[in-house]
């Protein structure tokens, strides 16, 4: 399989500061690849090097087999870029922003006009095409920015924090669009610190911290690497008194945390704990209302590997429900 | 580079220039440093002096060419670098030289457009006459190109905003007025001043403009043309070099 992106020993120094440290990874064609990391981890610097905006101190990158340093024109023709801030021309209309982008890629006039119309319609901006982008909301500017990145019908789209700071409706629209583009064989390189977004959208993720790539795998495989964060969540109908101490005595429980009317029993053997819970409930005459087995979330993996809690905007959902039993 | 590739690069350069004209020509810093500034300096120079107005016209033409052409780059590039629209050029499939040429086109047309006004005024109302159209045209085209590239070179130095670029630029532009035969003709400068004036691109602008309008030249026309060509190349390549440094640093 042809690789859409290959980072080869990518390294970047800012004076004495090592921002990206000999990073190597590959992105397969057609996949949605998540690039995660806390602020200042080196995500944006890596993307800037991959896209030819910034020169690496050492190493290089290939886009669809073209070296971004030596064959930059060919490599850049194949990529679209949505940076972390919407770098649109606010003094131009939405239409002229797209047309100018088309001219930067030397797309013939008729084709660029057709493409601009198609994209503005897709993003629900065609009726506002002649308005100055300065008058647009943040979400609308973001949509213009993404539309600009799609003007050249690229093979790979780099999206740097595409949904940060947007309202829920815009976030959902953009995520739907990314999925749709990916279904149309566009490779997506998604930089985000939103774990839920990465979990929902990415085929594989890489985690970078302090300039070093510390993990790369599918979200589910990454979650399986930290078994100790598996848990069983149980609630009892008659459980008026605090049962934390009782539950913590289960031999396979590592610790127990009470969340409202629910107890979360952390274990690396959830199935054993399940049967113990049933026996305990029978013995104590308690009625089990719900039992859920929870796996670690991608956020748990991220915290475990980086030691950093993701920022606001990464809406956390504690644990993925593997199985749910309602009574 | 093949002919097809060259044509493509030229189309993209024009697109960049055209976009800059549309977006930046009417921005306050462009108007202030490109129009208000040269006209103010000119008025402070001529008012109260017994200089015939048709002799002052070449000075005004040279000053507007100098200031207007060199002001667009320092307005556009630092602003675009700050709001990251400059990244669009760096990630587009075009060479850095094409980007800088596009920026040069915007400065060039601004300079030509404004400096044509004193020519028309001079010819229409103050008995100026064009005696050497080739020298005048060459002087205007080469000067506007070289000064636009000079502005871009300064704008390519690491800086945060237009104000921070325009300050060092003015630090160079204003002293150049004194050694370029603008206020005092080159022939009246002391020997060391005459030597120094050879190295100022503005000297050769005013020389060509004066020659074009029938006044006496100190330097031969081909010398002035050659010097402006050399400066155009130096400014463009220096601008490119600074951008490459920026790409390594950023």
Share of chain B above pLDDT 70, in %: 97
State how far the alpha carbon of B17 is from the alpha carbons of A62, A263, B88, B89, in Å: 31, 66, 14, 12
How far apart (Å, rounded) are the C-alpha atoms in residues B210 and B136?
8
Encoded tokens for A306: 């980086």
Strand A204-209 versus strand A58-63 pairing type: unpaired
The tokens 């839920």 sit on which residue?
Answer: A196
A323 band by pLDDT with thresholds 50, 70 and 90: very low
Nearest CA in chain A to B23: A91
Per-residue confidence (pLDDT) for residue A55, from 0 to 100:
93
How far apart (Å, rounded) are the C-alpha atoms in residues B149 and B72?
10
What would the pLDDT profile of B159-217 be if each residue is shown by its tens digit? 555 567 878 888 888 888 888 888 788 888 888 888 888 899 999 999 999 888 888 88
Number of neighbours of residue A257 by Cβ within 10 angstroms = 14
How far apart (Å, rounded) are the C-alpha atoms in residues B148 and B66?
8
Contacts of B28 in chain A (CB under 8 A): none
Contacts of A100 in chain B (CB under 8 A): 15, 19
Q: What is the DSSP string of A191-202?
A: EES-HHHHHHH-
The domain spans of chain B are 3-249
Per-residue confidence (pLDDT) for residue B126, from 0 to 100:
82
Nearest CA in chain A to B99: A104
Contacts of A73 in chain B (CB under 8 A): 93-95
The answer for A106, left when phi > 0, alpha when psi is -120 to 50, beta otherwise, is left
Q: What's the alpha-carbon Rg for chain B, to the nearest Å?
A: 18
Contacts of A87 in chain B (CB under 8 A): 83-85, 87-88
Q: To the nearest 10°, report the CA torsion of A307, A309, A314, A320.
A: 70
Residues of B in CB contact (< 8 Å) with A are 8, 11-12, 15-16, 19, 22-23, 83-85, 87-95, 244, 247-250
Higher pLDDT: A194 or B235? It is B235
Q: What angle, rounded to 10 degrees, do the helices at B96-125 and B221-249 form?
A: 140
Edge-to-edge order in the sheet of strand A156-160: A79-82, A156-160, A187-192, A32-36, A204-209, A212-217
Interchain contact, B249 vs A88, CB within 8 Å: no
What would the pLDDT profile of A236-258 be if each residue is shown by its tens digit? 886 667 888 889 998 888 889 88
Closest CA to A133 of A87, A179, A167, A195: A87
pTM of structure: 0.83
Asked if B11 and B98 count as a contact pair (C-beta separation under 8 A), the reply is no
pLDDT beyond 90 at A196: no
Interchain contact, B8 vs A89, CB within 8 Å: no
The C-alpha angle B37, B41, B43, rounded to 5 degrees, equals 115
What would the pLDDT profile of A301-313 be if each residue is shown by its tens digit? 788 777 776 654 4
Encoded tokens for A151: 């003007």
Q: What H or E segment, with its residue span, contains residue B3?
A: helix B3-24
Per-residue confidence (pLDDT) for residue A268, from 0 to 100:
82
Q: What angle, rounded to 10 degrees, do the helices at B133-155 and B221-249 form?
A: 20
Q: Where are the alpha helices (DSSP H) in B35-190?
A: 37-46, 53-82, 86-90, 96-125, 133-155, 162-179
Interchain contact, A104 vs B94, CB within 8 Å: yes
Closest CA to A95 of A128, A137, A136, A143: A128
Q: What H or E segment, with its residue span, contains residue A284?
A: helix A270-284
Per-residue confidence (pLDDT) for residue A326, from 0 to 100:
40
| A238 CB burial (10 A radius; 0-12, 13-18, 19+) | exposed
B208: DSSP letter: H
What would the pLDDT profile of B124-167 be if each residue is shown by its tens digit? 888 888 889 999 999 999 999 999 999 999 998 865 555 678 78
Q: Nearest CB to A51: which of B12, B16, B91?
A: B91
Using DSSP's 3-state secondary structure scheme, residue B224 falls into helix
Interchain contact, B92 vs A100, CB within 8 Å: no
| A43 CB burial (10 A radius; 0-12, 13-18, 19+) | buried
How far apart (Å, rounded) are the C-alpha atoms in residues B72 and B62?
17
Q: What H or E segment, with its residue span, contains residue A67?
A: strand A66-67
A53: DSSP letter: S
How far apart (Å, rounded) are the C-alpha atoms in residues A55 and A48?
8
What would the pLDDT profile of B26-71 be if each residue is shown by its tens digit? 988 888 888 888 888 888 877 777 777 777 888 889 999 999 999 9
Q: What is the DSSP string of A184-243?
A: TT-EEEEEES-HHHHHHH-SEEEEEETTEEEEEE-HHHHHHT-GGG-EEEEEETT--S--
The C-alpha angle A248, A284, A249, rounded to 5 degrees, equals 15
State how far the alpha carbon of B248 is from the alpha carbons of A55, A166, B46, B234, in Å: 5, 32, 47, 21
Closest CA to A57 of A112, A104, A93, A15: A15
Interchain contact, B11 vs A51, CB within 8 Å: no
CA distance, residue B79 to nearest chain A CA (Å): 11
How far apart (Å, rounded) are the C-alpha atoms in residues B155 and B165?
6
């Amino acid at each position: 399989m042809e690789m859409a992106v290959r980072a080869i020993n990518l390294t970047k120094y800012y004076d004495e500061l090592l921002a990206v440290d000999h990073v190597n990874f590959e992105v397969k064609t057609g996949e949605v690849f998540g690039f995660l990391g806390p602020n200042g981890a080196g995500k944006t610097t890596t993307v800037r090097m991959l896209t030819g905006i910034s020169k690496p101190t050492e190493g290089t990158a290939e886009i669809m087999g073209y070296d971004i340093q030596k064959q930059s024109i060919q490599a850049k023709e194949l990529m679209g870029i949505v940076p972390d801030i919407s770098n649109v021309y606010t003094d131009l209309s939405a239409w002229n922003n797209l047309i100018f982008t088309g001219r930067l890629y030397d797309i013939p006039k008729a084709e660029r006009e057709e493409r601009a119309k198609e994209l503005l319609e897709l993003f629900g901006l065609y009726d506002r095409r002649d308005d100055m982008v300065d008058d647009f909301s943040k979400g609308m500017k973001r949509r213009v920015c993404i539309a600009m990145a799609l003007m050249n019908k690229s093979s790979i789209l780099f999206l740097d924090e595409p949904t940060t700071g947007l309202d829920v409706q815009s976030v959902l629209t953009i995520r739907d669009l990314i999925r749709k583009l990916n279904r149309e064989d566009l490779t997506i390189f998604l930089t985000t610190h939103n774990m839920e977004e990465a979990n929902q959208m990415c085929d594989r993720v890489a985690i970078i911290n302090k300039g070093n790539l510390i993990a790369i795998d599918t979200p589910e495989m990454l979650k399986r690497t930290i078994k100790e964060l598996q848990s069983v969540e149980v609630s009892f109908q008659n459980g008026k008194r605090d049962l934390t101490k009782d539950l913590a005595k289960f031999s396979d429980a590592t610790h127990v945390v009470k969340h409202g009317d629910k107890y979360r029993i952390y274990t690396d053997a959830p199935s054993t704990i399940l049967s113990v819970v049933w026996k305990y409930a029978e013995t104590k005459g308690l009625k089990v209302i719900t039992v859920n087995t929870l796996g670690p979330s991608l956020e748990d993996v991220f915290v475990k590997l980086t030691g950093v809690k993701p920022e606001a905007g990464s809406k956390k959902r504690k644990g993925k429900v593997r199985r749910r039993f309602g009574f | 580079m093949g002919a097809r590739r060259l044509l493509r690069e030229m189309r993209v350069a024009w697109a960049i220039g055209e976009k800059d004209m549309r977006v930046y020509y009417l921005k306050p810093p462009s108007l202030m440093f490109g129009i208000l500034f040269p006209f103010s300096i000119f008025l402070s120079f001529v008012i109260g002096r017994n200089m015939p107005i048709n002799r002052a016209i070449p000075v005004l033409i040279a000053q507007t060419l100098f200031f207007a052409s060199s002001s667009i780059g320092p307005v556009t590039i630092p602003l675009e670098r700050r709001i990251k629209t400059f990244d669009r050029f760096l990630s587009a499939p075009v060479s850095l030289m094409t980007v800088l040429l596009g920026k040069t086109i915007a400065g060039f047309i601004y300079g030509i457009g404004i400096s044509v006004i004193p020519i028309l005024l001079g010819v229409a109302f103050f008995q100026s006459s064009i005696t050497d159209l080739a020298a005048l045209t060459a002087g205007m085209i080469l000067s506007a190109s070289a000064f636009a590239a000079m502005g871009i070179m300064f704008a390519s130095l690491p800086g945060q905003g237009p104000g921070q670029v325009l300050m060092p630029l003015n630090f160079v532009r204003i002293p150049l007025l004194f050694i370029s035969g603008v206020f005092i003709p080159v022939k009246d400068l002391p020997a060391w001043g005459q030597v120094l004036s050879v190295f100022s691109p503005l000297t050769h602008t005013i020389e060509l403009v004066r020659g074009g309008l029938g006044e006496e030249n100190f330097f031969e026309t081909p010398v002035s043309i050659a010097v402006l060509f050399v400066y155009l190349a130096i400014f463009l390549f220096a601008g490119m070099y600074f951008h490459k440094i920026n790409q390594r640093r950023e």
